[in-house]
Chain A
Amino acid sequence: MSRLNEESIRIANEIISRYPIKKSALIPLLHLAQEQEGWVSGEAMNHIAEILQITPAEVLGTCSFYEMFKRSPVGEYQLNICHGISCHLLGAENLLHHAEETLGIKEGEVTEDGKFSLEGVECIAACTEAPCLQVNYRYQNKVTKSHFNQLVQEINDGNRSEIPKHGSLAKVRQSIPAERLAGIEPVDGAQPPEWLNRNGRDS
């Protein structure tokens, strides 16, 4: 099941309808594909190209630019250890080495059971909480070696159910009720908004 499933297609169409030009939905759709499978397969990219009526090369071009899109399977839990300057100053390298030893993998690899993958990543905007990391884009602050061990243990024991599987980002999606939609103007030939030349409430 590499193509987008029915539910993903439904969400995809809702997302596409919010943009004047379909291709704008490409990154959100790639996220949908990754949410479904944990990574973005060639098959999924081809399907997205069909949906957006662009070429598979265009989809690959965009997909390959962005770090979050994984074009080969990663662990169920993607551990991103921040090695930005603030975390560097407070021991990020040590933490990364500790993680490599604990998991028995190098940065960029996946554990044999497919459970964990590990990366050193650039600043994740939690600089006052250094050193920090993200598990599937959920923050862990001021991480010590023992915190790290505990985190891995808890995930292995199935006690961190609040962390969704890799690929799921926001658990809440935007939804616009049809009757509340202001309406998407066409890119060409649009008129000035009707309200612009009126004085607020006078209208």
Chain B
Amino acid sequence: MTFPLITTSRWEIEDAHTIDRYVETEGYKALTKALTLTPEEVHDEVKKASLLGRGGAGFPAGVKWGFLPENVWPRYLVVNGDESEPGTYKDRILLERDPHQLIEGCLITCYALGLSQCFLYVRGEMAHGQERVASALNEAYEAGYVGKNILGTEFSVDIVLHWGAGAYIVGEETALIESLEGNRGMPRLKPPFFPASIGLYGKPTIVNNVETLSNVPWIVLHGGEEFSKIGSEQSTGTRIFAVSGHVNNPGVFEVEFGTTTFRDLIMGENYGQGILNGNKIKAFIPGGASAPWFFEEHLDVPLEKSTVDQAGSMLGSGAIVVMDETTDIVRACHNVVRFFSRESCGKCAPCREGTSWLEKILQRIIDGNGRDDDLDLLLDVCDNISPGITWPPKQTTICPLGPSAVSPISSAIKKYKHEFEAYISQSSQGTPVGIQGGIL
């Protein structure tokens, strides 16, 4: 490893979540430095870094920041800590182990963009993360890093800890804003495409992921140019990946963008250490449950946004889920589709109806009631949610949740169609969905 750890540098330090240890390990130095610069200069550093958003879509943060309209006030920062994408496990550790780093990133962002208030939205189920962030905020307020006249300057901003109550869709940024306004967490109709123009309370709002903002202190302290030297040209810096499923050493690893491959992460001695029980790899999900699956032939694809996009999937939320040769592909596929079906917010018909029918059809195949034309039916429903079943997906819905349910089906059928057919060939045929043993 020749790159510096950017976001996980304090993970091995037991009390890194306390303000004392944080300050001892260069904490709040970047904020102090930022306050000697003009807000524009700070914004420029982040632009130079070409920091890609670490939430899922991978949109450049500096560009997103640039979408704020001039002279509209107040403006808000909303931190997306609603990590719920199956396989994804990084933001929770950042919240629990290094909450001050995130708080410092928020403060610098508010300073750079002239934001009036920050809302730090933490997923409801993460009780410990909420405790750590609450303690950190209390300490930081007390010590003068957050609130009125930060570090004795005119710069003043409040950070409010807000927490959710269990809904995957709230990770979509406009749904997050709805939830923060006290509403059902349903995505808003686009345009506007970015809440930077119309967001929280109808005002300009920047929504950034926990990991994205956790990079900001390092960028300001060491400079955007230094940051852009790490990783590859189009995917700068490092990225945190969670490797889970059938590997010997499941874990969460910070690696350099672009230079590391999936094989390194899954098989490497310092990372996943190969497949469980010496088995062969059957498939892997490269970027969270929404991403189309990869197979053995994709192992040498480098972890870089553009190459993974070209290969037909995405790095998404940094979640790699490995399935070995013992995996029942139909059941794995059903599992992921069930997730999207349950988490569909119900606003758009193709997703609400489509995901639930996909789940039911897969269920009947597993139950031994599959029909000969079920695979065509599955793909037909998929086509209604995401016309053409292409990548990147087209969508008939407001947000990408619906098309995400298409990914596991199209990938699994592409490579392991025979497993679906095996289920169907043994089936009793003809039992209508939902009427077990009955006659329609």
Nearest CB of A to B412, in Å: 12
B163 A195 Cβ-Cβ under 8 A: no
Check if A155 is an interface residue, CB within 8 A of chain B.
no
In the assembled complex, which residues on chain B have CB atoms less than 8 Å from the CB atom of A31?
Answer: 124, 163, 165
B182 A23 Cβ-Cβ under 8 A: yes
A130-B244, A170-B131 known; A85+B86 contact, CB < 8 A = yes
Check if A128 is an interface residue, CB within 8 A of chain B.
yes
Check if A61 is an interface residue, CB within 8 A of chain B.
yes
Q: Which residue of B lies closest to A88 (CB)?
A: B335
B131 A171 Cβ-Cβ under 8 A: yes
In the assembled complex, which residues on chain B have CB atoms less than 8 Å from the CB atom of A139?
Answer: 128
8 Å CB interface, B40-88 against A: 71, 73-74, 83-88
A30 B165 Cβ-Cβ under 8 A: yes
Partner of B156, one of A28, A30, A134, A193: A193
A134 to B126, CA, bound (A): 10
CB-defined interface of B120-159 with A at 8 Å, one 1/0 digit per residue?
0001111110110011011001101011100001111110
Check if A105 is an interface residue, CB within 8 A of chain B.
no
A62 B245 Cβ-Cβ under 8 A: no
Partner of A125, one of B126, B245, B343: B126
Check if B114 is an interface residue, CB within 8 A of chain A.
yes
CB-defined interface of A55-76 with B at 8 Å, one 1/0 digit per residue?
0001001100111110000000
Q: Which residue of B lies closest to A19 (CB)?
A: B160
B161 A89 Cβ-Cβ under 8 A: no
Among the stretches B246-254, B388-396, B399-407, B417-425, the one at the interface with A is: B246-254
A31 to B182, CA, bound (A): 12
A182 to B203, CA, bound (A): 19
In the assembled complex, which residues on chain A have CB atoms less than 8 Å from the CB atom of B345?
Answer: 65
A125 B155 Cβ-Cβ under 8 A: no
Check if B339 is an interface residue, CB within 8 A of chain A.
yes
B83 A125 Cβ-Cβ under 8 A: yes
A123 B161 Cβ-Cβ under 8 A: no
A65-B185, A85-B86, A183-B148 known; A200+B35 contact, CB < 8 A = yes
Check if A146 is an interface residue, CB within 8 A of chain B.
no
Q: Which residue of A lies closest to B203 (CB)?
A: A187
B73 A192 Cβ-Cβ under 8 A: yes
Partner of B116, one of A30, A65, A185, A201: A185
A18 to B159, CA, bound (A): 9
B160 A174 Cβ-Cβ under 8 A: yes
Nearest CB of A to B257, in Å: 21
In the assembled complex, which residues on chain B have CB atoms less than 8 Å from the CB atom of A130?
Answer: 244-245, 250
Main SS at interface, chain A:
loop
Check if B436 is an interface residue, CB within 8 A of chain A.
no
CB-defined interface of A8-33 with B at 8 Å, one 1/0 digit per residue?
00000000001111011111101100
B342 A86 Cβ-Cβ under 8 A: no
Among the stretches B219-227, B259-267, B319-327, the one at the interface with A is: B319-327
Counting chain A residues whose Cβ lies within 8 A of the other chain, the interface size class is 35 or more
Q: Which residue of B lies closest to A23 (CB)?
A: B182
A80 to B165, CA, bound (A): 14
B92 A84 Cβ-Cβ under 8 A: no
In the assembled complex, which residues on chain B have CB atoms less than 8 Å from the CB atom of A181?
Answer: 147-148, 158
Partner of A18, one of B127, B155, B158, B181: B158
Interface centre among A128, A195, A203 (most CB of B within 10 A): A128
In the assembled complex, which residues on chain A have CB atoms less than 8 Å from the CB atom of B342?
Answer: 122
In the assembled complex, which residues on chain B have CB atoms less than 8 Å from the CB atom of A65?
Answer: 167, 184-185, 345
Check if A90 is an interface residue, CB within 8 A of chain B.
yes
In the assembled complex, which residues on chain B have CB atoms less than 8 Å from the CB atom of A80?
Answer: 125
A173-B134, A185-B74 known; A85+B87 contact, CB < 8 A = yes
Check if B2 is an interface residue, CB within 8 A of chain A.
no
A144 to B19, CA, bound (A): 37
In the assembled complex, which residues on chain A have CB atoms less than 8 Å from the CB atom of B242?
Answer: 127-128
Partner of B201, one of A21, A193, A201: A21
A67 B35 Cβ-Cβ under 8 A: no
Nearest CB of B to A174, in Å: 5
Nearest CB of A to B120, in Å: 9
Partner of A86, one of B138, B185, B245: B245
Nearest CB of A to B316, in Å: 13
In the assembled complex, which residues on chain B have CB atoms less than 8 Å from the CB atom of A137?
Answer: 124-127
Known A-B contacts: A26-B182, A192-B114, A200-B38. Give 5 more (CB < 8 A). A27-B179, A83-B335, A89-B245, A123-B84, A195-B156
Interface residues, chain A, with chain B CB atoms under 8 Å away: 18-21, 23-28, 30-31, 52, 54, 58, 61-62, 65-69, 80, 83-86, 88-90, 122-130, 134, 136-139, 169-177, 179-185, 187, 190-196, 198-201, 203
17 sampled A-B residue pairs with Cβ under 8 A: A18-B160, A52-B182, A62-B182, A62-B184, A65-B345, A66-B185, A67-B165, A68-B125, A85-B332, A86-B321, A89-B332, A127-B319, A177-B141, A180-B141, A180-B146, A182-B117, A193-B115
